[in-house]
Chains A and B, each alone.
Chain A
Amino acid sequence: MRRNLESITLSVLTRFTALVAVCLALSAPTVSAAPAVTQFKLANGLSVVVVPDHRTPVVTHMLWYRVGAADEVNGKSGIAHFLEHLLFKGTAKNPAGRFSQQLAAVGGQENAFTSYDYTGYFQRTSREHLGTLMEFEADRMTGLVLTDDVVASERNVILEERNQRIDNEPSARLGEQLQAAQYLNHPYHRPTIGWRHEMETLDREDALNFYRRYYQPDNAVLIVAGDVTADEVKALAEKTYGKIERRGAIGPRVRPQEPPQIAERRVTFADLRVTQPSLQRSYLVPSYTTAKDDEAEALDLLAYVLGGGSNSRLYRALVVEKRLATNTGAWFQGTSLDDTRFGVYATAAAGSSLERVESAIDAEIERLLDKGVTSEELERSKSRMIADYVYAQDNQSTLARQYGAALTTGSSVEAVLARPERLRAVTADQVREAARRYLDKRRSVTGYLIREGTPREEKKS
């Protein structure tokens, strides 16, 4: 289905970020012939990254804007994502549908996605069409034309998308509440897709205002991965994107930050469709961009030791030994411009309860804070995480995403390249320190998803 990569719900966003977080280890010793990544800037400020992959004559072309849901103004939630949809509605030069039809006529595939910190558009085709892709994509950086009719119809589509991703899915609805509760002040409290009552009011002017402000060459990052050279990409980019004039600085991305969280928060959502109660918890933590020293790498490893797969602490304790849960895990959403979240989750087993599950999670965390991680656990986690960077080299789209996400969240190509080595250098003490500092309940929100006892009216949509 179209644009299935739009990262909207917690689960999709997490999955996407996890993908990003496991990518690429060009400097890992196991990798001998890693492709050379090249980066440069055009005169108008457009950043360009080229990732060669000559195995198949295809290219992945991605244009990322440094703007997402966290850059929206109050009352207009969902506009970043809505605009992403509307960018397929044509320009003065290329009327609605022409780009997509022409791309389809050469077998190209396309999609787009929106997150808190970025919005991206991508196409995959055989290599010789790269220049044409750039012409079309450059054209819609400034040439978008919208009518009220088109906007009204597409607004129905995003409302259906919200229904599909969130409103039809009890765990997604809890996830939305959890995120809103975690951020009191920072705009990460808004769902990327928007709150329904605000989505219903978004109009043509809202979209165009957002577009004119943020869709500019010096606010964009071009990533080309595939069967190309940096010289080819540079020549084509200058002929297309290079013709767009810089319109003046957008200014630094400064969002309202969170005050120190001093009280644990709890939310409960009840729904008739819940068959087994489950628990989600997140903690406010630094991201790869905001962390000091190696704290983000330590948090990444901590998430793996605590809840990455069936050798993890939580899985062993809750699922295998105590049989309180049927599944459990942990995650760290490291790629983020501002402070981010570290999460744990579990589904209660039949005969168990969320209270028992939660105290078992707390006991495991307590044990980790007290005793730290073993060197054997840490080594196993490192080798697994670093190997994932090698696996990522098999997929040019994965590599392209990794660089795009880094460059739109205040990180860099260099930081991405250095990550495997930095992961390798993390010590058990650093992991325990990070756990002690951040896995503090006062920084957390805990959500219970339970079965509702009595029927209840749904709001008609």
Chain B
Amino acid sequence: MSRLFAAALGFALTLACADFASAASKIEEIVSPGGIKAWLVRDKTVPLLALDYAFTGGANADPADKPGVANMVGALLDEGAGELDSRAFQERMEEKAIQLGFTAARDQFRGSLRSLSANLDEAVNLLRLALTAPRFDEEPVQRIRDQLQAQVLRGTTNPNDIANKRWWAAAFPDHPYGRPSQGTTESLAAITVDDLKGYVRNTFARDTLTIGIVGDIDADGAGELIDRIFGALPAKATLAPVPDVAMQGRGERIVVALDIPQTVISFGGPGLARNDPDFFTAYVVNHIYGGGSMTSRLYHEVREKRGLAYGIYTRLIWMDHANIMSGATATRSDRATESLALIDEETRRMGAEGPTQEELDKAKAYLKGSYALGFDTSSKIAGQLVQIQLDKLGIDYPERRNAMLDAVTLADARRVAKRLLDTKMLTLVVGRAQGPTKTN
């Protein structure tokens, strides 16, 4: 039906899929002489190289009593390594316009390298040093500690930060997912250089490494490059096991009082594992419920019909040890209760009835057609190469994805909508809200 609809109004029926499959099929799996695996897309158009990578064990690998170690390591890796102190390292990066990024996600420590092809040699050298010989000198450690503490402190009066942090803490008590990955002012004060070095030693290893490369480089060149960067890392990581966990706090509404003109709301419930047979169906259902940025039911009800908020969204978050559906909005404080009731009602309705055939067709068409937009820059492609590997979807996933979408039926969608949304959610309200069930 949506296809006819589209045709009547002019957009061509041919989607980008056919063209795109050919673009994505350029992904090669390579293995370096040193035995390190990577995915590569060759592109000669722009004279730069994009490399993304991930190690298992992000903030999860923080010591239980010292959250924030991984995040602090990420902030310090470009602050001195090998023979180069902080200033020398920073100057080398700047002279050659080399961009190194480091992020501690929950399950992985992730990094990126961007370099002009002409400066690749120095870029490789700097990243190798950062990962294998970070210095953690006293001056940068203290400076970065001060910066991170200032950030954490600022977050204590920011409604979005409060809502986010409190939601995760309530959903995952006594689990690494419930700890603040930025740390606390106390934990940041207690972190030592030994903690930082210990994290690097235990986490940066070849056996948990995932790599994606995009640029004007062939398989041999790429193999040599990754050996130079990662070859000297230990063969095996030493990671404490992280238990699988189910989210807690369903049905709770926690209200945090803050004197601000707009109330911030975070809500969420259990999600699905990436390898769950229903995952793809849940992804489509979420798009219809709150994921579609300007087409979802929540967007329509909360923003378009009533003007209660500037934005509202939900998304599925799949992790190594738990899965959630997470949503957020910010709404005028005198109508926060109305917004909360609307979210509840739309959640209940979607859980009970599921989407319509027309909604399903439209969502599938959108999710197919928009996929190519995530592959139009080298940086985006490098990120996709890493994510598809982490999700264990297979190198042909971009080509198989359309068929997987086509296979989602209305009966599936209704069943999975019930599974996903026929539930009580955990809700965090920050602001001058009315009608609290539990006030902090």
Contact = CB atoms under 8 A, between A and B. Distances in A.
B377 A2 contact: no
B378 A107 contact: no
B307 A393 contact: no
B90 A55 contact: no
Contact of B94 (A56, A380, A390): A380
A319 interface: yes
Contacts of B16: 57-58, 107, 125-128
A37 to B, nearest CB: 15
A272 interface: yes
B183 to A, nearest CB: 15
B100 interface: no
Interface stretch (B63-71, B154-162, B225-233, B344-352): B154-162
A247 interface: no
A74 interface: no
A55 B48 contact: no
Contact of B303 (A2, A32, A125, A383): A2
A105 B362 contact: yes
A391 B43 CA distance: 14
A327 B147 contact: yes
A56 B376 contact: yes
B143 A323 contact: yes
Chain B interface residue bracket vs A: 35 or more
9 contacts: A163-B330, A226-B376, A274-B157, A311-B94, A319-B143, A326-B146, A326-B147, A326-B150, A460-B334
B261 A168 contact: yes
Nearest to B303: A157
Contacts of A101: 295, 362
A390 B116 contact: yes
A403 B295 CA distance: 30
A51 to B, nearest CB: 13
Contacts of A380: 91, 94-95
Interface string B318-337: 00000000000011111000
B306 A104 contact: no
A105 B6 contact: yes
A311 B87 contact: yes
A156 B307 contact: yes
A154 B310 CA distance: 9
Given A311-B91, A319-B143, A387-B97, 13 more contacts: A55-B23, A55-B45, A57-B20, A105-B369, A107-B369, A108-B369, A126-B20, A156-B332, A157-B310, A159-B307, A168-B262, A394-B378, A395-B377
A276 B153 contact: yes
B373 A384 contact: no
B257 interface: no
Contacts of A393: 46
Contacts, number: 243
A105 B294 CA distance: 12
B332 A160 contact: yes
Interface in A151-166: 152-161, 163-164
A98 interface: yes
Interface in A366-414: 380, 383-384, 387-388, 390-391, 393-396
A433 to B, nearest CB: 24
The 7 closest A-B pairs by CB, nearest first: A107-B369, A156-B307, A1-B311, A126-B16, A387-B97, A107-B370, A163-B262
A461 B334 CA distance: 8
Contacts of B150: 275-276, 326-327, 347, 349-350
Interface residues of A, number: 82
Interface in A122-162: 124-129, 132, 135, 152-161
A2 B330 contact: no
Interface string B14-44: 1110011001000000000000000000010
Contacts of A455: 259
B97 A102 contact: no
Nearest to A460: B334
A109 interface: yes
A2 B299 contact: yes
Nearest to B369: A107
Given A55-B45, A135-B10, A391-B114, A105 B375 contact: no
Contacts of A57: 16, 19-20, 23, 372
Interface in A331-353: 347, 349-350
Contact of B153 (A107, A127, A275, A319): A275
A201 interface: no
B37 to A, nearest CB: 25
Contacts of B310: 1-2, 157-158, 160-161, 163-164
Contacts of B309: 157, 160
B90 A100 contact: no
Contact of B154 (A31, A109, A275): A275
A32 B95 CA distance: 20
